[in-house]
Amino acid sequence: MSDIPLLPQVEAFLRRSHGLFIDGVNVRSHSSQTLAVTNPATGEVIAQVADADLADIDAAVDSANRGFQLWSQASPATRGNVLLKLADLLERNREELAQIETCQSGKIIQIARAFEVDQAAHFLRYYAGWATKLSGQTLTPSLPSFNGERYTAFTLREPVGVVVGIVPWNFSTMIAIWKLASALVTGCSIIIKPSEFTPLTLLRIAELAVEAGLPAGVLNVLTGGGHVGKGLVEHPGTHKVSFTGSVPTGIAVGRSAMGAGLTRATLELGGKNAAGFLRDVDVDKAVDGIIEAGFLHSGQICAAAERFFVHRSQMDAVLDTLSQRLGRLNIGSPLDERTEFGPVTHRQHQLKLLGYFSQARAENNTIIHGGTLIDRPGCYVEPTVILANSLNDTLLNEETFGPIATFLPYDSEDELLALMNNGPYGLSASLWTNDLSKALRMVPAIQAGTVWVNMHTLLDPAVPFGGSRSSG
């Protein structure tokens, strides 16, 4: 096996002294502190980024407020055209962006190209199309008339101001684009705070946004640890928070936003997503679905399935076939185009997954496949299949955010629905069946923001995405 060669511009970018992106340019941080960015496939440090401080936060917020004053007055068509130009630039620089993303996150190169870049461009064009279609309403009030007068009222959709976008490490480009595109098309400015594990691609995209015609200050990028996000959320000069990440961190962000003058907050949080397979599904097709739902990007997708419910009569066949398929996966470097399964994104997460393997053994779960780290440099984890003993087992209740599929058999369809709805989360779920009438009956009974039928994980910008209950 061999890695694709890094483009010269990628190597040059990684060698840069990375500052912060404020007021349309790269600037040095007021802080002397830096954070190392590590390639999870090799364990090698590939770059250093600034760990922003309070002075940097103030500078970014001031810049964003100046940018808002200008951008909020831009015509809808102007906003849409800038997003369209940025989409073109993402595609023009597709390989560069994908390689940077793969180097920092360990995402296999095919997924970096198809999801982080291609899908990001697709979402930008979708949002650009909304620029000239946002409108208010004209209303006729039922107020009493004293002298024959009549009344008319109207509503306006107005930009809220400076948005704070806090982005996770698993899809650092695509999720950031969701946040910045929706903010920019409505006339808001935005400050993106990427994860400290995957900050590099966003610094490059900010440069492309200026090339696309975005005025200085409308998009700012601050790198650093959790104190940066907290400082932005609590800053009196920010007006809206959009956060994607874990439930505990999301709760903390929500509390900080409420304590900072009731700042508006949108929280897209984690889950313990379920996939239910009805008895009529062929074993091979079920296994295809399980791999799609649970093992794409090493399971590091907020909407990925972690709980799998299979009819008791099919459980042995499904587990045996799945174990064989996972054993044949090509595990290797994410820069090798033949690799099918790469590392997890950082060492702390790898060790967290190792702890879950120990917990499964302590609870006498049956490890059908995997359950260990892979003995090679980097942050590799075996794709793992676990058969639980009961609904109370840890692996059926705590989000692992990794390539761990935990199974439990069911005997009736009513039991299946109860199993899928068990727990505090409600982000996504999938139902697999050849029976359309059963699908139409069961989908409304599944308590999740998104329910797929015979597919999982894939998203379209025209379809709403969000959770219920503790998933935000």
CB contact set of 227 (below 8 Å; sequence gap of 6+): none
> Which amino acid does the sequence have at 366?
T
* Collapsed DSSP state (helix, strand, coil) of residue 4: coil
Q: How many CB atoms lie within 10 A of CB 35?
A: 18
Q: Please give the Cα distance from 200 to 212 (Å, whole number).
A: 19
The vertex-123 CA angle with 120 and 125, nearest 5°, equals 110
| Residue 268 annotated as catalytic | yes
Q: pTM of the entire structure?
A: 0.95
CB contact set of 146 (below 8 Å; sequence gap of 6+): none
Phi, psi of 270 (to 5 degrees): -80, -170
Query: In the structure encoding, which two tokens stand for residue 311, read together?
Result: 């009819």
Q: If one looks up domain 8-137+151-269 in CATH, what number appears?
A: 3.40.605.10
Q: Report mean pLDDT in 10-residue bins for the chain, 472 residues.
A: 93 96 97 97 97 98 98 98 98 98 98 97 98 96 92 96 97 97 98 98 98 98 97 98 93 94 93 97 98 96 97 98 98 97 97 98 98 97 98 96 98 98 94 97 96 95 88 84
* Collapsed DSSP state (helix, strand, coil) of residue 27: strand
Sequence ranges of the domains in the chain: 8-137+151-269, 273-453
- Looking up tokens 């364990």 gives 43
3-state class percentages of the chain: helix first, strand second, coil last, to nearest 5? 40, 20, 40
Q: Please give the Cα distance from 227 to 248 (Å, whole number).
A: 15
Do domains 8-137+151-269 and 273-453 share one topology? The answer is no
Q: Which pLDDT belongs to residue 301?
A: 95
Give the CA count within 13 Å in the CB-facing half-sphere of 424. Answer: 10
How do beta strands 138-139 and 153-154 pair?
antiparallel
Q: Find out whether 333 and 41 touch, Cβ atoms under 8 Å.
A: yes
Q: Find out whether 380 and 142 touch, Cβ atoms under 8 Å.
A: no
- Integer CA distances (angstroms), 317 to 144, 307, 329, 420, in order: 72, 17, 19, 21
Q: Please give the Cα distance from 170 to 399 (Å, whole number).
A: 14
Domain made up of 273-453: CATH architecture: 3-Layer(aba) Sandwich (3.40)
Q: Which pLDDT belongs to residue 380?
A: 98
Q: Please give the Cα distance from 223 to 200 (Å, whole number).
A: 9
Q: Please give the Cα distance from 417 to 412 (Å, whole number).
A: 9
Q: Which pLDDT belongs to residue 1?
A: 60
- Looking up tokens 């059926």 gives 396
The sheet with strand 428-432 has its strands ordered as 366-369, 384-387, 404-410, 305-311, 273-277, 428-432, 450-453
Chain centre to alpha carbon of residue 301: 7
Active-site option among 196, 268, 292, 382: 268
Secondary structure letter of residue 76 according to DSSP: H
* Collapsed DSSP state (helix, strand, coil) of residue 248: helix
- Integer CA distances (angstroms), 171 to 106, 174, 220, 364, 411, in order: 11, 6, 19, 34, 37
How do beta strands 240-244 and 384-387 pair?
unpaired
Of 463, 140, 448, which is closest to residue 293 (Cα–Cα)? Answer: 448
Query: In the structure encoding, which two tokens stand for residue 112, read together?
Result: 């970096």
